[in-house]
Amino acid sequence: MNKYLQIHPGDNVLVALQDLQQGTEVGFNGSTITLSKDVPAKHKFMIADVKEGDPITMYGVLVGKANSAIAKGELITITNVKHDASAFHEKEGTVEWEQPDVSKWANRTFMGYHRNDGQVGTRNYWLVIPMVFCENRNVSVIKTAFEKGLGFAPAEVYNEQVQDLVSLYKKGDLEAIKTYTAEAVTLSNKRHTVFNNIDGIKFLMHEGGCGGTRQDSDALCALLAGYIHHPNVAGATVLSLGCQHAQVSILQEALKKLNPAFNKPVLVYEQQKSASEFAMLSTAIKDTFLALIEADKQVRQPSPLSKLVIGLECGGSDGFSGISANPAVGHTSDLVVALGGTSILSEFPELCGVEQELINRCVEKDVSDKFIRIMRAYESQAESVGSGFYMNPSPGNIKDGLITDAIKSAGAAKKGGISPVIDVLDYTEYVKRPGLNLLCTPGNDVESTSAEVGSGANIVLFTTGLGTPTGNPIAPVVKLATNTKLAQRMPDIIDINTGTIISGEVSIEEMGEEILEYVIKAASGEVQTKAELLHQDDFIPWKRGVSL
């Protein structure tokens, strides 16, 4: 295994692929670099002396400037380097792309649920949605009733643990409580027995719909419409209080905007027009059960891979993200696009510094102009509340080598591969064109994943270097570890280990193909992701301008 890596020939730093001790001599380009301090794996050190104000480059782009003089062989840190990124401007040149060879997948299919509007789902869910947070309790009541009654409820291992502890407490055996160890449970994808073709009922509880800005409530309605319109959804039950900002009529208008011929069953119940809470919930449960009987009649059928819509996401990133999992996912994205499918790259704060590359990859000037407009408006809004993209890296990111937003962004953008940018979508806009789409979202893992699915992603590839337990209510989320240590430490979270790229066992292209094979299985329902098995149904609408 190599000890270090220069990502791009123009970089003036090297990435440590393993822990390197102070005094280690590194041979590079015919010269010797002596490390002045310990360099932990994932972190970077200089290959030449730089002065205060000199540029720091990685991935061939500007990622920071020296806060002070940094010597050859010295570790770069948040103390001696500050964030900086290149400015961007209008599109230059034409788009050229040499597509990868996809002949081996030309006749492959996945088993999906075909919807009347031409979309194909990878799952068959029914949704229960509150229009406002006031209805969360009522949704929770329906959730408990249906999950237990239909066999969708998660394993009750922790309930059993509490019962064991209560029993010991009643016996007065405090020592036994202190030494108590619960038995590990093997997660199972065993199907329920009531409905054979329904993968579950999902509940999108949230804290919005009223009390905030009209912009946020309108955006919530558009996001919820995207979920109802989504190919993984057979229909929805909607609970409304009645007086909130997020009116049912706004949701209905958003659905018609997505599809003027929209005809999925949407059952609506308004509490302020009901005789009683019991009457509303009892009727909603009965009507939903009847709708489930119809939804169960839908079965999986072969579908071309062009019907895949892949969300590209990262969370808990580390210094290996940009050289293992992210470029591997980027190659998977390129394969899907070459097969006529669609991919969605989001997290606009994590595209800082690579804007010009993406602008130049846009197929049309109107598309690149929209990207420029949204990026500038987003950063300006963040700065107006005392923030900025430079504040995006989390303490975990920094600890594991991502010390500036531009370093994090340059690696995060690798998830988008090298295919042309076919379209740019503002938050809650739904994909319309196959190919690589850029979607405006914050970098927040759950807000971004929620948005990708709301824009049509029927499966999500989620890379992580630290281990992030994120899932989605209606779309399978495939978790990819950037390093082998994480995959071994958190096997209940991770689906695929891309750390073998770091060790040199596989190439980025080989891993990208392996990921696509897993995607086909997951899309067909042959495997459930770890996020699905753990019931990680995370859903957070974006209150625009607040989150990065």
Q: What is the pLDDT of residues 177-230, one digit of tens each?
A: 999 988 776 666 665 668 999 999 999 999 999 988 899 999 999 999 999 999
pLDDT in tens, 80-112: 999 999 999 999 999 999 999 999 999 999 999
**Where is pLDDT greater, at 154 or 293?**
293
Strands 61-66 and 55-58: antiparallel
- Dist. CA 365–CA 362, nearest whole Å: 7
* Among 50, 74, 55, residue whose Cα is nearest residue 406: 55
**Helix/strand/coil (H/E/C) assignment for every residue in 419-436:** CCEEEEECCCCCCCCCEE
Confidence band of 148 (pLDDT split at 50, 70, 90): confident
Tokens, residue 198: 């329904």
* Single-letter amino acid, residue 488: Q
Q: Cβ distance 246 to 139 under 8 Å?
A: no
CB neighbours (10 Å) of residue 255? 21
pLDDT computed for residue 192 by the predictor:
62
Phi, psi of 99, rounded to the nearest 5 degrees: -65, 145
pLDDT computed for residue 396 by the predictor:
87
Q: Side by side, which strands form the sheet with 55-58?
A: 55-58, 61-66, 81-82
Q: Cβ distance 78 to 391 under 8 Å?
A: no
Q: How far is CA 518 from CA 211, 527, 529, in A?
A: 43, 8, 10
* Among 408, 547, 530, residue whose Cα is nearest residue 467: 530
pLDDT in tens, 412-467: 999 999 999 999 999 999 999 999 999 999 999 999 999 999 999 999 999 999 99
- Using left for φ > 0, alpha for ψ between -120 and 50, and beta otherwise, residue 245 falls in alpha
Tokens, residue 427: 């938050």
Confidence band of 393 (pLDDT split at 50, 70, 90): confident
pLDDT computed for residue 18 by the predictor:
95
pLDDT computed for residue 158 by the predictor:
83
- For residue 169, pLDDT beyond 70: yes
pLDDT computed for residue 228 by the predictor:
98
Q: How far is CA 187 from CA 460, 461, 467, 483, in A?
A: 21, 21, 18, 23
pLDDT in tens, 337-365: 999 999 999 999 999 999 999 999 999 99
When the pLDDT of each residue in the chain is averaged and rounded to a whole number, the result is 94
Tokens, residue 96: 């050229």
- Dist. CA 298–CA 151, nearest whole Å: 19
- Dist. CA 465–CA 412, nearest whole Å: 12
Confidence band of 546 (pLDDT split at 50, 70, 90): low
Confidence band of 123 (pLDDT split at 50, 70, 90): very high
| Cross-strand pairs, 497 | 481
Q: Cβ distance 303 to 256 under 8 Å?
A: no
56 burial class (0-12, 13-18, 19+ CB within 10 angstroms)? buried
What's the average model confidence in pLDDT over 488-495?
96
- For residue 545, pLDDT beyond 60: no
pTM: 0.95
Tokens, residue 482: 């950037």
pLDDT computed for residue 308 by the predictor:
98
Confidence band of 2 (pLDDT split at 50, 70, 90): confident
- For residue 115, pLDDT beyond 90: yes
DSSP 245-262: SS-HHHHHHHHHHH-TT-
- Dist. CA 68–CA 89, nearest whole Å: 29
Q: How far is CA 183 from CA 158, 161, 530, 532, in A?
A: 10, 9, 19, 21
* Among 112, 192, 190, 522, residue whose Cα is nearest residue 332: 522
pLDDT computed for residue 547 by the predictor:
60
Confidence band of 548 (pLDDT split at 50, 70, 90): low
Length of the chain: 548
pLDDT in tens, 229-282: 999 999 999 999 999 999 999 999 999 999 999 999 999 999 999 999 999 999
